[in-house]
């Protein structure tokens, strides 16, 4: 989902504040930010820079030619469209010492966050939470924090 419904990618003031704003939702000093493609690749590096952390891409399986490096994959039972997907990271980029902040633009069900949390845990790292621009998840999904919720838009 490319969620630029409001044109926020176009506004330099919003872009300037997104990284610090999202990083501030989890001031627990992550060592790395992990974000799923597509829009996570825009937001994740902004947050990593603001948090003084590195950035690791979580690729969608089948979206491009295979990555030559060893990958660790996890299944998302259903994404926001109700379709199963797989997300993967380059295995060597996340270690047991890492404190991972998952970052995305939008959360509707929390499925991607749960899947990435499982993947990161399988690699021995610690997830400190998920930060999103818009959080539309039900209240039972308590590990996701957003700058906005659906009612704000």
Q: What mean pLDDT do residues 119-139 have?
A: 95
The set of residues, in sequence order, having a beta carbon less than 8 Å from that of 91 and lying 6+ positions away, is: 69, 70, 71, 72, 123
Could you report the per-residue pLDDT of 46-98, keeping only the tens digit for each?
A: 999 999 999 999 999 876 667 889 999 999 987 667 778 899 999 999 999 99
Task: Please tell me the number of Cα atoms within 13 Å of 7 on its side-chain side.
Answer: 2
- For residue 86, which phi and psi values (nearest 5 degrees)? -130, 140
Shortest CA distance to 101 belongs to which of 61, 39, 49, 38? 49
Q: Which tokens belong to 13?
A: 């003031």
2 C-beta neighbours (distance < 10 Å), count: 10
Q: Which CATH architecture has domain 19-152?
A: 3-Layer(aba) Sandwich (3.40)
pTM of the entire predicted model: 0.92
Domain extents for the chain?
19-152
């Amino acid at each position: 989902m490319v969620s630029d419904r409001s044109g926020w990618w176009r506004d330099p003031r919003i872009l300037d504040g997104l990284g610090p704003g999202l990083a501030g939702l989890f001031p627990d000093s992550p060592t790395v930010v992990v974000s799923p493609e597509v829009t996570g690749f825009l937001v994740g590096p902004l947050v990593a820079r603001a948090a003084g952390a590195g950035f690791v891409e979580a690729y969608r399986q089948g979206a491009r030619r295979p990555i030559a490096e060893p990958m660790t994959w996890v299944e998302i039972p259903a994404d926001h469209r109700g379709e199963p997907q797989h997300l993967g990271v380059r295995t060597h980029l996340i270690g047991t010492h890492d404190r991972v902040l998952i970052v995305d633009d939008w959360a509707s069900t929390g499925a991607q966050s749960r899947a990435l949390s499982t993947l990161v845990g399988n690699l021995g790292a610690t997830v400190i939470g998920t930060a999103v621009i818009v959080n539309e998840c039900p209240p039972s999904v308590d590990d996701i924090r957003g700058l906005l919720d659906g009612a704000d838009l």
